């Protein structure tokens, strides 16, 4: 079979590229190994509840991408308000932690605020430049100070990343880790203030259908989507791909949104140094337990960060707190996220911990409230930005670019990307293929 453009992976990046090629009447074949398109943006329905692969909330920074999405999805997306908090020392503090210390024990507030001021003064007078910090741990100490680091930044990030924080660079943070602001940090030590800081204070989300509304709208009416068909092997010099169906395809251009190490493993004749480097790329995985429960909304929070060791999960929340229609009337929903590294998650043990702690937090009064439980495993969910990541990724992307392959999306670029950036990369790639860029 001869194909002009072969697109491997039907998540947002692959689908967005296909949508734009279709608009320009350019032929393509999209192969997706799962039976449903959407990648991480698929949604599961169970007993009247709607669950995503953990909270998936849509926020835009680029008006042109927002317009592109709204044209496809129409008025299904509604504006929602985030209510994010941190649970520590037996109390809830508004997000971000560094600007909302009121209500914490006085010793903790003192350590946090004085530590922050000391760090801020040190930066001011010593000329220390935090972006040049040698690793994430050092950066936290320079920017947040000892108290905020010890009480939140270190334990939370250790739980999420599952690697020593000295091994992480700061290149992933961007808008994801808001730096403390002096006045807000001091004021927030005395007064409880609902904060709208951070990149996702509001977001868009549909009433019905969960986040899969988005990939479904992009995929609607697209020709040549081959679902349940994985890419198996690639010969870049002959521009030939083998599919899991046993068929092979000769392509002119290949767009891949497969995880970069997976793409490397499928590529025949990849130079040994690159193949070896690709195997060193790391990611942490997420085990996500979703509960549909009987009874009224137990918490007013969209999500809650848990830095303390007592809680094995790093984040938990309730989508029904901001989107009541994800649960049937008289019911609500909860989700819990456990991060794991090389170990295999134990669903029974994690379920037990989730129920036990949700009861302790009084989000759940009895296990009998649980109407349905949906466990979702997200292997390789968060790319680990260790000191080797940038160099390895640049080397691999350069190699693929020279061989006419566009590796795109959160895992194709091996980055900490959003839904918006996955769609943007898909659209941009279609323009390159069409010769518009
Ligand atoms: C826990 C978590 C929470 C998140 N929350 C948010 C959020 O609130 N807001 C936000 O904007 N973003 C969020 N994101 C990021 C967002 O999910 C991603 O940026 C986006 O969905 C990535 O789309 P993609 O197409 O690049 O990748 P994917 O969705 O991973 O798509 C890649 C596709 O390739 C397919 N594939 C893999 N191997 C093969 C093969 N051999 N052959 C064929 N197909 C293959 C996969 O099945 C998959 O469908 C979150 C991510 C995670 C992990």
- Is pLDDT of 132 > 80? no
Residue-averaged pLDDT of the chain: 94
pLDDT given for residue 61 in this prediction: 93
pLDDT given for residue 184 in this prediction: 86
Count other C-beta atoms under 10 Å from residue 247's C-beta.
Answer: 13
- Yes or no: say if 246 and 23 are a contact pair by the CB < 8 Å rule: no
CA–centroid distance, residue 157 to ligand 1 (Å):
22
Q: Class assignment of domain 2-43+66-71+209-282+387-433?
A: alpha beta
Closest CA to 56 of 413, 420, 434, 379: 420
- Yes or no: say if 253 and 406 are a contact pair by the CB < 8 Å rule: yes
Ligand 1 close to Cβ of residue 9 (< 6 A): yes
241 three-state secondary structure: strand
CATH of region 84-190: 1.10.3110
Give domain limits for the chain: 2-43+66-71+209-282+387-433, 84-190, 283-383
Same fold for the domain at 84-190 and the one at 283-383? no
Q: Which atom of ligand 1 is nearest to the CA of 38?
A: 49
Ligand 1 close to Cβ of residue 69 (< 6 A): no
Q: List the beta bridge partners of residue 5.
A: 28, 253
Ligand 1 close to Cβ of residue 376 (< 6 A): no
pLDDT given for residue 176 in this prediction: 62
CA–centroid distance, residue 278 to ligand 1 (Å):
19
pLDDT given for residue 124 in this prediction: 84
* pLDDT tier for residue 304 given thresholds of 50, 70 and 90: very high
CATH topology of domain 283-383: Polyamine Oxidase; Chain A, domain 2 (3.90.660)
Ligand 1 close to Cβ of residue 255 (< 6 A): no
CA–centroid distance, residue 408 to ligand 1 (Å):
11
- Is pLDDT of 189 > 60? yes
Ligand 1 close to Cβ of residue 314 (< 6 A): no
Ligand 1 close to Cβ of residue 315 (< 6 A): no
- Yes or no: say if 175 and 19 are a contact pair by the CB < 8 Å rule: no
CA–centroid distance, residue 38 to ligand 1 (Å):
8
Ligand 1 close to Cβ of residue 307 (< 6 A): no
pLDDT given for residue 131 in this prediction: 65
pTM assigned to the model: 0.95
CA–centroid distance, residue 7 to ligand 1 (Å):
15
- Yes or no: say if 231 and 241 are a contact pair by the CB < 8 Å rule: yes
Q: What average pLDDT does the segment 161-180 reach?
A: 82
- To test the pocket of ligand 1, the residue of 10, 11, 225, 241 to mutate (highest count of ligand atoms within 8 Å of its CB) is 11
Ligand 1 close to Cβ of residue 413 (< 6 A): no
Helix 154-161 vs helix 136-148: crossing angle, to nearest 10: 140
CA–centroid distance, residue 177 to ligand 1 (Å):
21
What six digits make up the tokens of 430?
Answer: 């279609």
Ligand 1 close to Cβ of residue 317 (< 6 A): no
pLDDT digits (tens, 9 = 90+) for 210-250: 999 999 999 999 999 999 999 999 999 999 999 999 999 99
Taking CA atoms only, the protein residue closest to ligand 1 atom 15 is 418
| Three-point CA angle 406, 211, 48, nearest 5° | 145
- Yes or no: say if 406 and 437 are a contact pair by the CB < 8 Å rule: no
* Region of poorest pLDDT, from 19-33, 39-53, 188-202, 313-327: 188-202
Ligand 1 close to Cβ of residue 147 (< 6 A): no
The secondary structure of 374-411 as a DSSP string is EEEEEEEEEE--BTTHHHHHHHHHHHHHHTTEEE-HHH
Count other C-beta atoms under 10 Å from residue 67's C-beta.
Answer: 11
- Is pLDDT of 330 > 70? yes
């Amino acid at each position: 079979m001869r194909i002009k453009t072969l697109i491997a992976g039907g998540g947002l990046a692959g689908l967005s590229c296909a949508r734009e090629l279709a608009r320009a009447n350019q032929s393509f074949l999209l192969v997706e190994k799962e039976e449903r398109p959407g990648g991480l943006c698929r949604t599961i329905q169970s007993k009247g509840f709607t669950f995503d692969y953990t909270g998936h909330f849509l926020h835009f920074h680029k008006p042109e991408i927002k317009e592109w999405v709204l044209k496809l999805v129409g008025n299904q997306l509604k504006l929602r308000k985030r209510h994010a908090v941190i649970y520590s020392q037996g109390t809830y503090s508004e997000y971000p932690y560094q600007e909302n210390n009121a209500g914490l024990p006085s010793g903790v507030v003192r350590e946090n605020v004085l530590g922050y001021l000391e760090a801020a003064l040190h930066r001011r007078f010593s000329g220390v430049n935090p972006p040049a910090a040698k690793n994430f741990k050092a950066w936290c100490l320079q920017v947040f100070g000892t108290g905020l680091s010890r009480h939140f930044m270190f334990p939370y990030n250790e739980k999420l990343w599952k690697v020593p924080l000295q091994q992480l660079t700061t290149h992933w943070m961007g808008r994801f880790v808001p730096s403390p602001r002096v006045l807000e940090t001091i004021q927030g030590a005395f007064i409880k203030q609902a904060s709208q800081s951070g990149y996702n204070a509001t977001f868009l989300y549909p009433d019905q259908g969960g986040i899969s509304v988005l990939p479904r709208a992009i995929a609607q009416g697209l020709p040549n989507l081959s679902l349940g068909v994985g890419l198996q092997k690639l010969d870049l010099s002959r521009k030939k791909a083998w599919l899991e169906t046993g068929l092979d395809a000769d392509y002119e251009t290949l767009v891949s949104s497969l995880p970069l190490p997976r793409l490397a493993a499928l590529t025949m004749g990849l130079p040994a140094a690159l193949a070896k480097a690709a195997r060193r790329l790391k990611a942490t995985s997420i085990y996500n337990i979703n509960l549909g429960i009987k009874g009224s909304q137990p918490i007013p929070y969209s999500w809650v960060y848990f830095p303390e060791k007592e809680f094995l999960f790093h984040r938990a929340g309730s989508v029904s707190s901001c989107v009541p229609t994800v649960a049937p009337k008289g019911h609500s929903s909860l989700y819990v996220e456990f991060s794991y590294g090389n170990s295999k998650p134990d669903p029974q043990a994690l379920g037990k911990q989730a129920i036990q702690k949700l009861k302790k937090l009084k989000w759940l009064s009895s296990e009998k409230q649980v109407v349905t439980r949906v466990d979702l495993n997200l292997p390789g969910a968060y790319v680990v930005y260790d000191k080797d990541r940038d160099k390895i990724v640049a080397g691999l992307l350069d190699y693929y670019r020279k061989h006419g392959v566009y590796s795109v999306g959160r895992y194709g670029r091996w980055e900490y990307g959003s839904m918006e950036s996955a769609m943007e990369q898909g659209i941009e790639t279609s323009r390159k293929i069409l010769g518009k860029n």
